[in-house]
Amino acid sequence: MTSTSGNIVQDNQNGLKYQLKSFEKIPIKFWENPDDGALHIARYIALCIRQKQQDNELIVLGLATGSSPIKIYNELVRMHREEGLSFTNVVTFNLDEYYPMQPDSNQSYVKFMNEFLFNHIDIKKENIHIPNGNLPMEFVENFCQEYEKKIDFYGGIDIQILGIGRTGHIGFNEPGSWLTSRTRLVKLDHLTRIDAVKDFGKEENVPYRAITMGINTIIKARQVFIMAWGTHKASIVQQTIEGEITEMIPATYLQNHPNVKFYLDAAASSELTRIKTPWLAGICNWDDKLIAKAVIWLSLKLKKPLLKLTDEDYINNGLSELIAEYISAYTLNIKIFNKLQHTITGWPGGKPNADDTNRPERANPTKKRVIIFSPHPDDDVISMGGTFLRLVEQGHEVHVAYQVSGNIAVHDTDAWRYAEFMGSYTKAMGLDHPELAKIVGKVTKFIDKKQANDTDIKELRMLKGIIRRQEARSGAIYCGLSDKNIHFLDMPFYETGGVRKNKLTDEDYALITKLLNEVKPHQVYAAGDLADPHGTHRVCLDAIFEAFDRSKDQKWWNDCYLWLYRGAWHEWPIDEIEMAVPISPDELMRKRKAIFMHQSQKDHPVFPGEDTREFWQRAEDRNRATANMYNTLGLAEYEAMEAFVRWKF
Ligand code: F6R
C-alpha cells in the first residue's frame, strides 16, 4: 500500500519513504562549465536589451556582485566592445552593499560594479542604483524606502541576477528573513562574514551589517536567474531546490516564483538526488560507474560491508533493478569489492615487475619522472604528503612545482618579524647595507601604518613570498627533494597584491608548458580541488589543462598520467577514487612534520575558512576518514589514505 503526498510516496508496509522523480521545486539548467552558463545568461540579457531598444523601452536589471556573476559581466562588456551592444536603455539596481562602506573601498560593491561592468559600457550614470553604504545611520531607513520607490517608479525589475550564499541567502537576506521583507539594513550571518574574509583580509575587517533588497523586492522581479558554481555550494543548492520553503533558507522562497531558473555546474549540483542517488529519483541509465556508486551508497547507508549485502538489502532500498540485472547480490558485491580493492596501492608510481593489469599505475618505466603541481606553497604536503614521501622513497625522479607565491596569506606581523630580523642580523654581523636598511625601514613603516584596505607594497609582497618560498623549500627538502627539483613558478595572474586575481595569460601557460616539456613527466599530480575558497586552485588547474593541450605533439604527452588530488577541504567521493595510497602511522607523522614546515600557515592562517582545525588536522582527519570508509566497506583497515582520480584527456 502506498500513499502520495506531494512528491513523497509513503510505503505503509515497511514505513519507507521514497521521493518520486520530479521533486525539484525550482527548474534547473546544468552546465558542464560555469563559463558556458554565464555566457548563456549574458546572451539572454543582451537579447532582451536589444528587444526593448527596438520598442524604445527601458529595461530594468537587478544585479548581484560576488564571484558568481563575474563571467556574465565579462561577456556583456565583450558584447559592448565587439558587437556594439548598447546599454543606454538599461537601468540597474544592485542587490546590496556592506554597511558601513566607503564607495571607493576595495571591497565596496560600487567599486566591484564599476570595475567589472559600468566603467566599460555606455550605461547612463543616472540609471545606476546601488545601496549607499556610506550614509549616517539615521538616513538609512529613508534611503531604503526611496530605493523601493525608485524600483517601482521604473516599473519593477525585468531580470534579476542572483548568486546564493552558503547560508541560503539571496542578496543579503540571511536566515530568518521574511517573505514580505523589503530593502533594509540587516545583520550578516557569521558564515557570510567568514566567507567574506577572503575579500577583507581579516575577520575583524568584515562589516557586521549590510543594506539589501528584501525578499519581497527580489521575488517581484519578472524573471530570475540564480547561479551556483562549485562544490562549496552543493549542499545549500540541494536544500534550496529540494527542501521545504523555510525562512531559514531564504532562497527557498524562489520555489514559488513563476519564472525562475537555477543555473548550476556539475560540482554545485552534486548533492541533488537526481545526481547523487538517481535510483531514488526514477529510472536510471545504469553504467559501471553508476552501479559502483549505488552499491557503495547502499553499503555505507546500511553500515554493512559490501560482501555482506543481500538481495533483500538491494530490493528494500530502491535497487531491485540491479538484482534483476545481476541475478544475485553476490555477483554484484564481488564485482564492486574487486573494483575498490584494485584502487589500493602502496606503489603510487607503479609497482616494478608486477602484473599491472588491475593496478592504477603502470609498472613501466620502473623509475618515473613525476611532477607534483602545488597551487599554493603548502598544498603538496597537505594534500598528498604521504604519496610524495613514497614516490621519492621508491626512487622516482620527483619534481615539485609551486604555482603561485601565496604571498597574500602571510600575516603582517610575521613579515614584520622577518624584516626586523634581517636588519638586526646584518647589524649584529657588523655589515653595513644601507640599501637593505632602507627597504627594511620602508616595509616595517608600511606595516605599522597599514589600514584595512591597503594593498601591500611591492617590497612587502616580495618578503611575504620569500617567507612562503622558504617554507615550501623546507617541506620539499624534508620529503627528500634537492633544490634542482624544486620549482617556483610565481604565476603572474596571482600577483595583484589582493584577493582578486588577474586572468590567466600566455605568460602563465608558458611557465607550465616549459616545465612539462623540460621534465617530460610520466606522471603529473595536480590539485583538482574545485572547492578552494579563493578559486586559485581552479585557475591553477585550468592553466595545467591548457599547458597539456599545448604539449599534445610532444612525445611524453602520450605516456603521461595526470592524477588529481583534492585540497584541504574535500575528498573525492569514494566511488570516484581511482588510486588510494595507504599511509602508515609513521608516514602520517612524517607528513605532519612536512606540513609543520609551513609555519606562517600554522595556528591561525590568514585564510582559515570556517574550519577551525589547523591544516595538518584537516589533512589527517580527512585521510583517516577515507581509510575508515574503505574499512566500513569491508576492505583492509589502514591508518589513513590519500586518494586520487585520473584525468583522461
Ligand atoms: C552579492 C549578493 C550575495 C552573493 C552570494 C554568493 O551581491 O547579494 O547574495 O550573490 O553571497 O556570492 P558568490 O557569488 O561570491 O559565491
Residue 68 alpha carbon, nearest atom of ligand 1: 14
- Closest atom of ligand 1 relative to the 233 alpha carbon: 16
Task: Give first-to-last CA distance, the chain, whole Å.
Answer: 49
Residue to substitute in 41, 63, 68, 200 for testing ligand 1 pocket (most ligand atoms within 8 angstroms of CB): 68
- CA-nearest of 192, 278, 267, 197 to 235 is 267
Place of cell 520598442: 55
In a domain, 444, yes or no: no
Q: Which of 178, 246, 200, 133 is nearest to 408 (CA)?
A: 200
Q: In terms of domains, do 314 and 404 share one?
A: no
**At 122, phi and psi to the nearest 5?**
-100, 35
Would the CB of 583 count as within 6 Å of ligand 1? no
Give the separation between CA 507 and CA 23, rounded to whole angstroms.
47
Question: DSSP string spanning 86-153?
Answer: --TTEEEEESEEEES--TTSTT-HHHHHHHHTGGGS---GGGEE---TTS-HHHHHHHHHHHHHHHHH
Task: Report the C-alpha gap between 612 and 412 in whole angstroms.
Answer: 21
For atom 8 of ligand 1, which residue has the closest CA? 171
* Phi, psi (deg, nearest 5) at residue 92: -125, 145
For residues 63 and 112, membership in a common domain is answered with: yes
Claim to verify: residue 100 and residue 185 sit in the same structural domain: yes
Contact 60, 93 (CB under 8 A): yes
165 pocket-lining for ligand 1 (C-beta < 6 Å): yes
According to DSSP H, which parts of 399-456 are helical? 412-428, 434-449
Cell of 212: 539589501
Q: Reduced to 3 states, what is the DSSP secondary structure of residue 198? A: helix
CATH at 79: 3.40.50.1360
Protein residue closest via CA to atom 9 of ligand 1: 171
Nearest by Cα to 567 from 533, 539, 542, 516: 533
Instruction: Specify the residue with its C-alpha closest to ligand 1, atom 4.
Output: 163
Asked if the structure places residue 640 within a domain, the reply is yes
174 noted as active-site residue: yes
Nearest atom (ligand 1) to Cα of 64 = 7
Examine residue 16 and state whether it is found in any structural domain, yes or no.
no
Mean pLDDT of the chain: 93
User: Does residue 17 lie within any of the structural domains?
Assistant: no
Question: CB count, 10 Å around CB of 436?
Answer: 15
> What is the predicted pLDDT for the residue at 603?
80
Which CATH number fits the domain that encloses residue 463? 3.40.50.10320
Domain contains 525: yes
Q: What is the helix, strand, coil percentage profile of the chain, to 5? A: 45, 15, 40
State whether 267 and 283 are in the same domain.
no
CA of 325 to the centre of ligand 1 (A): 46
Out of 108, 111, 169, 192, mutate this one to test ligand 1's pocket (max ligand atoms within 8 Å of CB): namely: 169
Q: pLDDT by residue (tens digit) across 35-74?
A: 899 999 999 999 999 999 999 999 999 999 998 999 999 9
* Cα–Cα nearest to 173, from 273, 240, 78, 232: 240
Q: Does residue 11 lie within any of the structural domains? A: no
- In a domain, residue 3? The reply is no
pLDDT in tens, 572-629: 999 999 999 999 999 999 999 999 999 999 887 777 666 788 999 999 999 999 999 9
Q: Which residues of the chain have pLDDT under 50?
A: 1-20, 533
**Closest residue (by CA) to atom 2 of ligand 1?**
171
Model pLDDT, residue 551: 97
65 CA distance to ligand 1 middle (Å): 6
Which residue, judged by its Cα, is nearest atom 1 of ligand 1? 65
| Residue range of the domain that includes 306 | 277-341
Same domain, 262 and 289: no
Do residue 474 and residue 584 come from a single domain?
Answer: yes
The number of distinct structural domains making up the chain is 3
CB of 250 closer than 6 angstroms to any ligand 1 atom: no
- Cβ–ligand 1 distance for 45 under 6 Å, the answer no
Predicted pLDDT of residue 497: 82
Q: Do 549 and 507 have their domain in common? A: yes
pLDDT, position 15: 42
The last residue of a domain, from among 275, 302, 326: 275
Do 95 and 214 belong together in one domain?
yes
DSSP string, 569-632: S----GGG-SEEEEE-HHHHHHHHHHHHT-GGGSSS-SS-TT--S-HHHHHHHHHHHHHHHHHH
Neighbours of 152 (CB within 10 A): 11
Tell me the CB-side half-sphere exposure of residue 302, using CA atoms within 13 A.
20
pLDDT at 7: 41
Q: Is residue 437 part of a domain?
A: no
Q: What is the pLDDT of residue 285?
A: 85
Q: Which of 250, 176, 263 is nearest to 219 (CA)?
A: 250
Domain boundary among 223, 258, 275: 275
| Cα 344 from Cα 338, distance rounded (Å) | 10
Q: Return the SS3 of 208.
A: coil
Together in a domain, 95 and 138: yes
Q: How many angstroms is it from 95 CA to the middle of ligand 1? A: 9
pLDDT at 18: 43
Contact call for residues 25 and 242 (beta carbons, < 8 A): yes
Q: Is 60 in the pocket of ligand 1 (CB under 6 A)?
A: no
- What's the CA-to-centroid distance between 227 and ligand 1, angstroms? 9
Q: Are residues 613 and 483 in the same domain?
A: yes
Last residue of some domain: 326, 341, 356?
341
Query: Pick the catalytic residue: 97, 174, 271, 614?
Result: 174
Residues 257 and 312 in one domain: no
| 69 CA → ligand 1 middle, Å | 9
240/92 same-domain check: yes
